[in-house]
Chain A
């Protein structure tokens, strides 16, 4: 039995691709006294890395995942373990061809060379493929395979050479000791290690290790089936591991990947086969390795047939036999993203649910995050702090991954909703909203009405102004009622359920210090002021944007979106001084937010309260307590839709009553219930309001987003130095609002972009900003009050000129666009008259 050092600065648990990459980058960034443990032997301790098929297709619709992949490829190349093979993604149907066209958008947006090719092109490179089985393909020349075990060894040895690392294989973690909310010690069967930091990087076993410290790492081990067929003479005659492009047969959810003389056929088509981390066998119990479970051939048989149809000569070649077949375990999460970052236990980090294609990039990002407080690549969609309590349940992970497994190669609409494990968080108005025909979309587990079928009658009233969409894809998960609700709100008023807002109060002697430290904007304001503020990381990238209300001398309320709420709450919590008296209290469950906006909103509110709600009596960006028809509410005059109005914070018990009251009183003024389709898209895009996770992320600055104010507050805050420096130089990229000039496609059908599309010159040439990035649409949506479809995109400064004529590529067709705004100035009501 190996023994472990008695203490370490950081203990990394796991020696798969992630753990190895992490120790390398931690050592490279200067950390010392790193201990890496694995319960298995080296170089292959038996986790998912050991049986990975090791190929990398760089194009993903997610920018974050693509960036991590591209960074990983670069690292693999530097280590000399990357072999470029090229790769095809085949389409057997027209629907898939359309998806491949959408994939072209992502490729262009992320700057990856790719092209759509015909079957003959594929046949030339893959002579043993049957051309008549598919109609086209997406060709990525930069696809390749890596030797992930070798890469792991190289990275581990690099760290060892610096003297920063001690590696102890064959040691099992038996416990994690947490004291005062901080990790203290790792217990192993080879002794205990006192540690300042611990990183759980042990893939499918991570939940089990997390449980030892009382944290949830919501991933599930899931089966990916793979067989190896060979030796195939067509492959054997070429030297080396791979000489033919990898084929992803998208419509059968299969891939064919050469491995020496063998062809590996993998599948994501079978039923979701999930395991519990506790039920993974030990190294001794496993036939092959713990993550190579017994093959269940029945599940694979349909894929075998499809693979055979595609490559009959190869897979049916004389002597080609199925010699190796596994149910390989990999990690899946409820939203498909990795689980990275510091957990609710201070000093206890995670780096799990990572695939080979992202491994080294994740190792670098997490190491930077640990050492510098932020990473070059924004990984906020992978932050472990993103999970709401219901998402931390194993059952939720199980249900969602079961539903999502078949979508691994699926055609997933960007707005597609999950069906399983819904109704986790319903507002007090849920039942009455359902009666109104609310169509619920989910955010952070909250069921939010996206539009109300009860407003269908407005369609006739507004006619073509609702900008109906002719193409099914553009209109999927969408309704023209959204635009009708929008127009009604702008014409009269709308009542919006904002229950999903994450609301938390910071109170006590350190409250001001906390909000001042976290927020860019001046928060040392009179009681009753409402502050909208960016939140930065130490490098000056966005961590969030949110509003802060000063409710008392030592009492602030923070309101932020549901999606990023838990991460914001953790970030503020991390900055609450440890004085024992300053507190952060989550009020999300007991405070419900209702929005009332529109030109008639003041009349409506005035009809329900004796308090003064005039502009003079209740100014913009102020808040105070009101009695609304006898119900106590905290009203805040603010707007994310560009209209006069209020957010009303009410106790959960009173919320349903207030909802009815507002709708009843509003009816006379023409108010209707309005969904999140307006709040999140149409209302905001007409006002060019930025949204975190779309326009704002860790790789963007306040200056680039056009959100800088004349002055910077004197008080120190996170990211201040970086922000000051950003203000001193010209931006490398500029967030602009673009107007689509013509929607007509070649077929005559009008098409409407949904976001993620590349922005090009009018003639279709690529553009590049000062960061080397290519412009793409960060948000897209109808602007019914303008009768236009608007796009937000970061453009190279030289292109950020009002009136500049550019193009957007959508489904491989170019549509003309014109720059309408080059800063935060909205196209609708640029002087904000309506808000007053």
Chain B
């Protein structure tokens, strides 16, 4: 069975208005809470579909919550690289993940295409170079058949397929699979899985972050087509414009 490592990151749930911490170094999660990104939720789903999946994160003590969330939906082991993620740049994170891959002899590593907070778009690729493995980026589905990875995603000119042997790194974009929610037994099981804690292997070089800023707010740009029944022609004009009328 393929031994999969899936990498997740504890990030602030950014589906609502983003609030920054007072020092401008991070997004404040006290209102919206924390989660893993939608890409990573899909990566976790794919990982548990493929085989025995270990979940790993690099984060502070609270990041255990994301490890448990992944365990609750079917990952069977977890590694926690205990570190302040704010002080780790993408290259630092890739180096630490590589150490975990080597330790457990994984042959497939899944990551989200990019982290929902820092949006660096590179940890998976850097990890592949650390390992000397090939990397497929930004696919929606991944499966492993007889040691061959088949990964599919949307390219600029249509649906693209990759086919390559293990081992490899694959980064996942959301949309290809529906991540499952935890079940009650799953959550209870997750609670009992021991989490393998480890320290970083080296001092981080750090990200280049100076500070975070908020962009000016976007105004409500709703276009009111009219009031009551009189709006019907304008609505149907819109349907025609959007091409949604049944033929």
Contact = CB atoms under 8 A, between A and B. Distances in A.
Q: Do chains A and B touch in the complex (CB under 8 A)?
A: yes
Contacts of B32: 281, 285-287, 294
Given A284-B17, A285-B16, A298-B65, A322 B31 contact: no
Interface string B12-24: 0101110100000
Interface stretch (A139-147, A302-310, A414-422, A630-638): A302-310
B184 A316 contact: yes
Of B32, B33, B69, B180, which is in contact with the most chain A CB atoms at under 10 Å from its CB? Answer: B33
A323 interface: yes
A297 B66 CA distance: 10
Contact of B33 (A287, A315, A322, A323): A287
B216 to A, nearest CB: 14
A404 B50 CA distance: 48
Interface in A296-328: 297-298, 301, 304-305, 307-308, 315-316, 320-323
Interface in B25-76: 29-34, 65, 68-69
A602 B180 CA distance: 83
Interface stretch (B113-121, B125-133, B185-193): B185-193
Contacts of B69: 297
A253 interface: no
A618 interface: no
A282 interface: yes
Given A285-B17, A287-B15, A229 B31 contact: no
A321 B31 contact: no
A133 to B, nearest CB: 15
B31 A320 contact: no
Contact of A308 (B16, B68, B180, B185): B185
B86 to A, nearest CB: 20
Contacts of B191: 301, 305
A307 B187 CA distance: 12
A316 B185 CA distance: 6
B17 A282 contact: yes
B184 A315 contact: yes
A295 interface: yes
A439 B161 CA distance: 80
B87 interface: no
A739 interface: no
A646 B65 CA distance: 66
Size range of the interface on B? 20 to 34
Contacts of B68: 297
Interface string B147-163: 00000000000000000
A229 B181 CA distance: 10
Chain B CB within 10 Å, residue with most, of A282, A285, A295, A308:
A285
Contacts of A320: 183-184
Contacts of B30: 279, 294
Contact of A322 (B15, B16, B182): B182
Nearest to A288: B16
A287 B18 CA distance: 10
B31, B32, B180 — most chain A CB neighbours (10 Å)? B31
Interface string B180-215: 111111011001000000000000000000000000
Contacts of A307: 184
Interface string B64-99: 010011000000000000000000000000000000
A321 B185 contact: no
Interface string B101-120: 00000000000000000000
Interface string A163-206: 00000000000000000000000000000000000000000000
Contacts of B13: 287, 294
B17 A301 contact: no
A295 B33 contact: yes
A783 B68 CA distance: 61
A293 B34 CA distance: 11
B10 to A, nearest CB: 12
Given A282-B17, A298-B65, A305-B188, A287 B183 contact: no
Contacts of A323: 181
Contact of B184 (A287, A298, A304): A304
Nearest to B183: A321
A316 B181 CA distance: 13
Contacts of A305: 188, 191
Contacts of A294: 13, 29-34
B20 to A, nearest CB: 11
A114 B149 CA distance: 63
Contacts of B16: 281, 284-287
A279 B31 CA distance: 9
A80 B182 CA distance: 36
B73 to A, nearest CB: 9
B17 A304 contact: no
Contacts of B19: 281, 285
A279 B28 CA distance: 13
Nearest to B188: A305
Interface string B229-240: 000000000000
Contacts of A293: 31, 33
Contact of A321 (B15, B17, B180): B180
A64 B16 CA distance: 41
Contacts of B65: 297-298
A285 B19 CA distance: 7
Nearest to B18: A285
A249 to B, nearest CB: 15
B45 to A, nearest CB: 13
Given A282-B17, A287-B13, A321 B182 contact: yes
A304 B30 CA distance: 24
A322 B184 contact: yes
A128 B31 CA distance: 36
A316 B182 CA distance: 11
A322 B34 contact: no
Contacts of B31: 281, 285-287, 293-294
Contacts of B33: 287, 293-295
Contacts of A282: 17
Contacts of B15: 287
A501 to B, nearest CB: 46
A298 B15 CA distance: 22
Interface in A271-291: 279, 281-282, 284-287
Nearest to B17: A284
Contacts of A322: 181-184, 187
A294 to B, nearest CB: 2
A213 B222 CA distance: 38
Most buried by B among A284, A285, A287: A287
Contacts of A321: 180-183
A87 B13 CA distance: 37
Contacts of B185: 308, 315-316
B199 to A, nearest CB: 23
Contacts of A284: 16-17
Contacts of B182: 321-322
A308 B185 CA distance: 8
Contacts of B181: 321-323
A281 B15 CA distance: 14
A322 B68 CA distance: 14
A282 B16 CA distance: 10
Nearest to B19: A285
A605 B184 CA distance: 72
B17 A229 contact: no
B217 to A, nearest CB: 9
A112 B36 CA distance: 49
- Shortest beta-carbon contacts, A-B, top 8: A294-B33, A281-B31, A321-B181, A284-B17, A315-B184, A287-B32, A285-B31, A285-B17
Given A229-B183, A321-B180, 18 more contacts: A284-B16, A286-B31, A286-B32, A287-B15, A287-B33, A294-B30, A297-B187, A298-B65, A301-B191, A304-B184, A315-B185, A316-B185, A320-B184, A321-B181, A321-B183, A322-B181, A322-B182, A323-B181
7 contacts: A281-B31, A281-B32, A287-B31, A294-B29, A297-B65, A298-B65, A315-B185
